[in-house]
Amino acid sequence: MNTVLQAKGLCKTYTVNKHKNDVLKNIDLTVYEGEMVAVMGPSGSGKSTLLYCVSGMDKVTAGEITFGGKDTSKLGDKELARLRLNEMGFIFQQMYMMKNLTVLDNIILPAVRSKKNHESRRKTEERGKALMKRLGIDDVCENDINEVSGGQLQRACICRSMINSPKMIFADEPTGALNGSSSDEVMDELLSLNRDGTTLMCVTHDPKVAAKCSRVLYLVDGGIVGEKKMGHFDPNEMSIRDREKELNSWLMERGW
């Protein structure tokens, strides 16, 4: 399998009032193409920091990160921005969007900016609408972002993360602000994306979400203390309930 993302000896230290806080300690991590990796751990374990560091959104204190064969720790701000724009997609717990743009404009903004596909704006708009239709939110494309529900907005964020056909999508608690049914719908969309070949890395607190991933990393105090390979989720092979049970017992062994 091809490697999409690799981190070696990754360290991140925050200094608050001259007091150093080592959030990530010497982390080695490899994500392969087509994987759906869940990052779990107690609050303050460094899950989100790990996600932001490996995606180039935050600078690392030490270590090496390779994304798509490029050493991102050596890239400048401009190159990192271009990499995020063309090769990565992001989904956040809070459904951040540009307040002054419609839902559709928010989705197509990275594509218009990127020009990766060398297509007309009309074409980009059509692709945006097609994505929205696929995620079942095509009826709100002209709506303002405060006119749609949380679930619809998170699905719009997924559309935005997909618009440039990225190599990998990073999701930070993508279902954290959603209710049960919306959460399931969003996870189903992410699973569907993964089945189509998109690599995903997802930070979550929810074992139900993690149970749908192919691999789970467990972080405690800035270090990976466990890794569970679960294989791609196939409801015909094993029900989600059984996968969740298996994962829960594994997590409890690690102090969850």
Partner 1 sequence: MFWRILKKDLKRKKTMNIILLLFVIICSMFASASVNNIMAVTGGIDHYFDIAEVPDVTVSMSEDCEADKAISELPSVKSVKTEHYLTVMSSKHFTHNGKKLDNFINPANFLSADEMGMKYFDMDNKVISSVDKGDFYCTSPFVQKMDISEGDEVVLEIGDTTMPLTYKGCFKGALFSNDEMSSPYIIINNEDYRTLAKDKYFNAGSLSTKRLYVRTDDVGAVRDAVKGDDNVYLSTRDEEKGEYLYDMLTAYIMLVISIVLMLTAFVVLRFTIGFTLSEEFREIGVMKAVGIDNGSIRRLYIVKYLAISVAGAVIGYICSLPLSSAMMKTVSEHMVLEAEKQGMLGVISSSAVVVIIMLFCYGCTRKVKKLSPIDAVRSGQSGERARKKNFMHLGSSKLPTTGFLSCNDVMSAPKRFGIITAVFTLCMLLMTLMSNFAVTLKSENMLKFFGVPTCEAHIGDMEYMQDIFTDGTAYQEIIDKTEKMLAENDMPGSCTMSFGANYETFCKDKSAKLTYTVTKGKTDDEIKCDKGRAPENGDEIALTGYAMKELDADIGDKIKTVIDGEEREFTVTGKFSSFQGGGYAASLCRDFDFGNDKITTTMGVQIHFDGDPDKKTIDDNVSKISRIIESDKVYTTSEMIKQVTGMSDTLDTIKKMMMILTVIVTALIVILMERSFISKEKSEIALMKAVGMSNGNIIAQHTIRFAIVSVLACIVSTIILMPVSNLVMNWICSMIGDVSGLKCAFVPVEIFAVCPAILIGVAVIGSFLTALYMKTIKASDTASIE
Residue 113 touches partner 1, criterion: CB under 8 A = yes
Given 9, 14, 71, 121, the residue binding partner 1 (CB under 8 A): 121
Task: Number of residues interacting with partner 1: please give it, by CB under 8 A.
Answer: 44
Give residues with Cβ within 8 angstroms of 1, minimum separation 6.
32, 33, 34, 35
Residue 130 touches partner 1, criterion: CB under 8 A = no
Instruction: Kindly indicate which of the ranges 2-10, 65-73, 85-93, 216-224 contains the residues binding partner 1, using the contact rule CB under 8 A.
Output: 85-93
Instruction: Kindly indicate which of the ranges 2-10, 16-24, 139-147, 212-220 contains the residues binding partner 1, using the contact rule CB under 8 A.
Output: 139-147
Instruction: Kindly indicate which of the ranges 28-36, 74-82, 183-191, 228-236 contains the residues binding partner 1, using the contact rule CB under 8 A.
Output: 74-82
Residue 158 touches partner 1, criterion: CB under 8 A = no
Q: How far is the CB of 81 from partner 1 (least distance, A)?
A: 4
Q: In angstroms, rounded to a whole number, what is the distance separating the alpha carbons of residues 160 and 95? A: 11
Q: In angstroms, rounded to a whole number, what is the distance separating the alpha carbons of residues 49 and 73? A: 15
Residue 99 touches partner 1, criterion: CB under 8 A = yes
Residue 254 touches partner 1, criterion: CB under 8 A = no
Q: Count CB atoms within 10 A of the CB of residue 173.
A: 20
Instruction: Kindly indicate which of the ranges 86-94, 191-199, 205-213, 231-239 contains the residues binding partner 1, using the contact rule CB under 8 A.
Output: 86-94
- Can you list the positions of beta strands (E) in the chain? 3-16, 19-32, 36-40, 62-67, 70-71, 88-91, 168-172, 199-203, 215-220, 223-229
Q: In angstroms, rounded to a whole number, what is the distance separating the alpha carbons of residues 130 and 127? A: 5
Q: In angstroms, rounded to a whole number, what is the distance separating the alpha carbons of residues 192 and 134? A: 11
Tell me the Cα Rg of the chain: 18
Can you give the binding site for partner 1, defined by CB under 8 A?
48-49, 52, 56-58, 77-78, 81-86, 88, 90, 92, 94, 96-102, 104-105, 108-110, 112-114, 121-122, 124-125, 128, 142, 144, 146-147, 160, 172
